[in-house]
Structure 1
Amino acid sequence: MLTAADSAFAARLDAALPEGTLRPLTAAYQEEPRGRFHGNGGLLAAPRDTEEVARVVALCNDARVGIVPWGGGTGLVGGQILSDGPAPLILSLERMNKVEAVYPEENVLIAQAGAVLEDIHAAARARDRLFPLTLASQGSCRIGGNLATNAGGVNVLRYGNARELCLGVEAVLADGSVLRGLKRLRKDNTGYDLKDLLIGSEGSLGVITAASLKLSPIPAAEGAALMVVESPAAALTLLAMARARLGEGVSGFELIARQGLDFLAETMPELRQPFATPPDWMVLVDLGLPRGLDPQAALEELFAAGAEAGLVHDGVIAQNEAQRAEFWTLRETIPEANRKIGAISSHDISLPLGAIPDFIAEAGAALARLGEIRINCFGHLGDGNLHYNAFPAPGRDRADYEALREPVKRLVHDLVDRYDGSVSAEHGIGRLKVPDLERYGDPAKLAVMRAIKAALDPNGIMNPGAVLRA
């Protein structure tokens, strides 16, 4: 049974920690971007190093006080907010924000967990290297949270999720002990891979305090194009064609529906769009090629081959880096437009690539039978991750659809499950999707997860209620 992080516990912490570790708990730590979860108070601690984190965690474990790790607060499934139960200690890593070392010859960077993703990008680029994890929230999200949720982003097709970009982690476990796994090794076959266990656990098994990260060479030449495709099925065929021609040179392949462009025109009319009449479907193809290859020429050849095959019928190829950046701004601004419209229900799903066209057709028809609903389907087609979001009809508010929110989610997630997909592709489980994990998760997997949780966190203090029910 957990106890509250109250004034008596605050006094114990204050006596055991350096001055300034405990901080006022402001509203910023009690909210999340979608406004569906609100914190229930507690204490805020901001340690400066791993030893202080270990001291805080040990004290919480002794007192049976729940801990909610806090990175950049950008999570979309409520993993950073505890709404009910005894008030927790919110453990912020924001003061542990240093990039500690860069080894360009090894393609390795070591950073504290509170380092902002954009700062990691800058540190890598300063040594002529690339850290490829790229997210819309990279100016505020922190690498500890990215690893805790196994974040994806736009470059997964080429470089993989956060898990594939991490060589080692340092972490504080529930009893306050420190796992010192901050290695730069590509091969380390010495038993269970605890790094991969902690990555994606959303702070429910321990607190990641630092990580060694994989870097890559910066591509010598980059380019992008927007290509109008006949359908999602045509987009998949074009993706296969692109990869057959260019292999790992394809860094991103994003599917964009007309509804996303219409939302941009409705909420941000100042944003320039590439086509006078928005197409029903288009893809953003991004290339990163080695020296000696011309991305513009490669994209022109891909367009010509796609047009000859009847897959594409219009397109725009970026003529310089500024235009390429404009294409990506268009894609990365779609979630902001979505927020301004206000979704009935948002879904971060993944599917086998071959199932995507049938899923889109079947889900759209099924939702139309529920009522007048606009669907914005977009996302990382190359790795099968769609953001499939349902919105009110024009002139109506999402509050008008409150009774439909759960039926819409259930319909979409049931269909995803039937197509052997996942109801959480890159955002994690948090607290929002715990019932979904229980409904769709493999029973054997859930039993193993609960056994691991009980072994590593027997008092249930680590992010209680996230991923698994407390």
Structure 2
Amino acid sequence: MTAAVSSAALPALLGPHCTVDPDRLRRYEIPERGEPGKASGLVVPQTEAEVASLLATCSKNGVKLVISAGRTGLVEAQRPDGEVVLSLEKLDQPLSFATPDGEVFRFGERAAPAAHADALAAWWRGIGAPPCEDAVLEVQAGMAVDAVNLLLAPLNLMWPMEMGSSSAASVGGCIANASAGANAVCYGTAAHLAIQAFGYSGDGREVLSDAPAWKAVPEDLLAINSAQPRPEWGLIGTQGVLGVITRAKIRAYAIPGQREAALIPVSDMPAAMRIHAAARALFGDDVEEFEFIGKPALELVRDLKGDAFRSPLARHDAPYYLLLQVKSHKAHIDLAGMLYEFLADAVSLPEDQIGYAPLKALKEIRHSITEASNARMRALGGGRLSFDTATPVAVFGDYLKVLEAELKAEYPDMALIAFGHAGVGGAHLHILGSKDAPVARHAKALVKIVFDVTQDFGGTFSAEHGVGTKWGDEFIARAPAEVRAALIAAKRRHDPAGTLSPRSFALDRQLAG
């Protein structure tokens, strides 16, 4: 919290882009989920140089900051508790685009995303550039994921960061958090979709961080684990506690020439993971997504959409469903036929259980689950506990089976909504209470069951959403001592005054101790 400088003195100290107006602050005090916070001020830098100067000033004067970009985070890291909010919303422009053979386009002055897209496309046509996959786009950190893909689409390129919040989630936030998303099984996390991240340490020093290369993770190891940040990656994946990303170079990927997908009913999650193994054996790295949806989650979407619900399946009585998406850059192969043959022959599904549908319709089902869960939570009036766990893929099916059984045995009146990134062992879990059985009454016990079972299967209590302030106590209790020690040492090196996100990972308490 900011105690060294009074709120009234902040604008004079932090400059013209700082405000303490309560009406301006209110928007930044309300997180995606959870209770509102309380900010002592708001600062919205217009340039990277302002960010550097701001950090140096705050570090020198004991002003604490929490970082706000798209405000889509789910672990309360962006919710202030007396700190000043640092918003990167004005750092939202593309900077340059470079082809593998050295041609470079530099974007002009600030403009709308569509205008930048038109300018880039005109340049691309002018140089007669052939399709390429190894192009590099440099953008400011506050640029939204959807805005990046609007820019790249006319070039038949993409930045494959797929999630329900992509209209607001920022490139810098995703890279700082090493967000996974629906197609991490194919492309890796946002940490791997980056090339370099540029920014400043907590005391204003310039930092350049190189991104790690993506390679498939063995199935007996964790593929995603944001409870184990890697300080050696610098600003990448360390969730804003060491410094602020202000711009990044990211990889552009060719949009596949073909994509095919199906919704597949399965009897249980161990059976689902056998299908995953078979799909990887046949399609290899061309398995672009492998998502799972529990029956209660699908039912919530049906209730939310009503007559607008579109499903390729006549019946919806299976305990789980899979969204399997495969891709190919080869125009001459029959990808749809290959997928159908795989499901009919290798998986032995009858025709009425092979849920072919336009990809957009299947994605709408998957990305409507959180909205549907929100609606049911409000209707039931008993609150919700949300988790983001992961285990090694090799045990993921058994993990979900055991976890569901334990929760049902202990709390039969609670509803478990399960869905997520089965291809990398990631699960999003919503436990919904009712007015008669609110989750708050049993929150501590529910958290313990979920995290104990996850740990028993070699998993992590935080797969991709970060630790933030929400899971600080769990980080202290469950993270290996060497992981905590490395993060504390890095915090002392990069942010000696504890300026940035001081409560994330419970670092304020750990440093004080």
Question: What TM-score do you get using the length of structure 2 for normalisation?
Answer: 0.83
Structure 2: which amino acid aligns with 1:236?
M
Residue 228 of structure 1 aligns to a residue whose secondary structure is strand
What is the rounded CA distance, in whole Å, between the counterparts of 2:52 and 2:443 in structure 1? 41
The sequence identity of aligned pairs, in percent, is: 25
Match of 2:274?
Answer: 237
Contact 1:229 1:313 in 2 (8 A): no
Query: How far 1:184 moved relative to its partner?
Result: 13
Residue 347 of structure 1 aligns to a residue whose secondary structure is strand
After TM superposition, the structure 1 = structure 2 runs for residues 307-318 of structure 1, keeping only pairs within 5 Å, are: 307-308=347-348, 314-318=353-357
Residue 89 of structure 2 aligns to a residue whose secondary structure is coil
1:93 lines up with 2:81 in the alignment: no
Contact 2:431 2:439 in 1 (8 A): no
Contact 1:5 1:65 in 2 (8 A): no
What is the rounded CA distance, in whole Å, between the counterparts of 2:437 and 2:45 in structure 1? 40
- What are the Cα deviations for residues 402-429 of structure 1, in whole angstroms up to 9, with x where unaligned? 1112211110101101111011111000
Match of 1:11?
Answer: 12
After TM superposition, the structure 1 = structure 2 runs for residues 176-325 of structure 1, keeping only pairs within 5 Å, are: 176-180=204-208, 196-269=233-306, 270-278=308-316, 279-291=318-330, 292-308=332-348, 314-318=353-357, 323-325=358-360
Q: Residues 156 and 373 of structure 1: is their aligned pair in 2 closer, same or farther, counting only changes over 3 Å? A: same
CA RMSD, 1 decimal: 2.3
Match of 2:29?
Answer: 30
Query: How far 1:119 moved relative to its partner?
Result: 0.7
What is the rounded CA distance, in whole Å, between the counterparts of 1:177 and 1:140 in structure 2? 28
Pick the aligned partner of 1:64 from 62, 74, 87.
62
What is the rounded CA distance, in whole Å, between the counterparts of 2:234 and 2:352 in structure 1? 46
Match of 2:430?
Answer: 389
Match of 1:164?
Answer: 192
Q: Residues 122 and 234 of structure 1: is their aligned pair in 2 closer, same or farther, counting only changes over 3 Å? A: same
Match of 2:371?
Answer: 336
Query: How far 1:451 moved relative to its partner?
Result: 1.2
Length, aligned pairs only: 448
Query: How far 1:384 moved relative to its partner?
Result: 0.4
Contact 1:251 1:286 in 2 (8 A): yes
1:102 lines up with 2:97 in the alignment: yes
What is the rounded CA distance, in whole Å, between the counterparts of 2:212 and 2:424 in structure 1? 27
Pick the aligned partner of 1:379 from 420, 425, 443.
420
Query: How far 1:167 moved relative to its partner?
Result: 1.0
Query: How far 1:275 moved relative to its partner?
Result: 2.7
Query: How far 1:227 moved relative to its partner?
Result: 1.4
Q: Residues 171 and 312 of structure 1: is their aligned pair in 2 closer, same or farther, counting only changes over 3 Å? A: farther
- What are the Cα deviations for residues 74-101 of structure 1, in whole angstroms up to 9, with x where unaligned? 1000010123xxx222111100101111
Pick the aligned partner of 1:433 from 466, 471, 485.
471
1:350 lines up with 2:390 in the alignment: yes
What is the rounded CA distance, in whole Å, between the counterparts of 1:115 and 1:171 in structure 2? 15
Match of 2:484?
Answer: 446
Query: How far 1:353 moved relative to its partner?
Result: 1.6
- What are the Cα deviations for residues 377-409 of structure 1, in whole angstroms up to 9, with x where unaligned? 1111100001122123xxx34872311122111
Structure 1: which amino acid aligns with 2:370?
P
Residue 366 of structure 1 aligns to a residue whose secondary structure is helix
Q: Residues 20 and 8 of structure 1: is their aligned pair in 2 closer, same or farther, counting only changes over 3 Å? A: closer
Match of 2:40?
Answer: 42
- What are the Cα deviations for residues 46-78 of structure 1, in whole angstroms up to 9, with x where unaligned? 111110111111111111000111111010000
Structure 1, unaligned runs of 5 or more = 187-192
Pick the aligned partner of 1:115 from 143, 160, 166.
143
- What are the Cα deviations for residues 407-456 of structure 1, in whole angstroms up to 9, with x where unaligned? 11110101101111011111000110111111110011111111111122
What is the rounded CA distance, in whole Å, between the counterparts of 2:35 and 2:346 in structure 1? 45
Contact 1:104 1:127 in 2 (8 A): no
Structure 2: which amino acid aligns with 1:48?
Q
Structure 2: which amino acid aligns with 1:360?
L
What is the rounded CA distance, in whole Å, between the counterparts of 1:5 and 1:163 in structure 2? 37
- What are the Cα deviations for residues 332-373 of structure 1, in whole angstroms up to 9, with x where unaligned? 101111112225311100011222222222212211232212
Contact 1:349 1:423 in 2 (8 A): yes
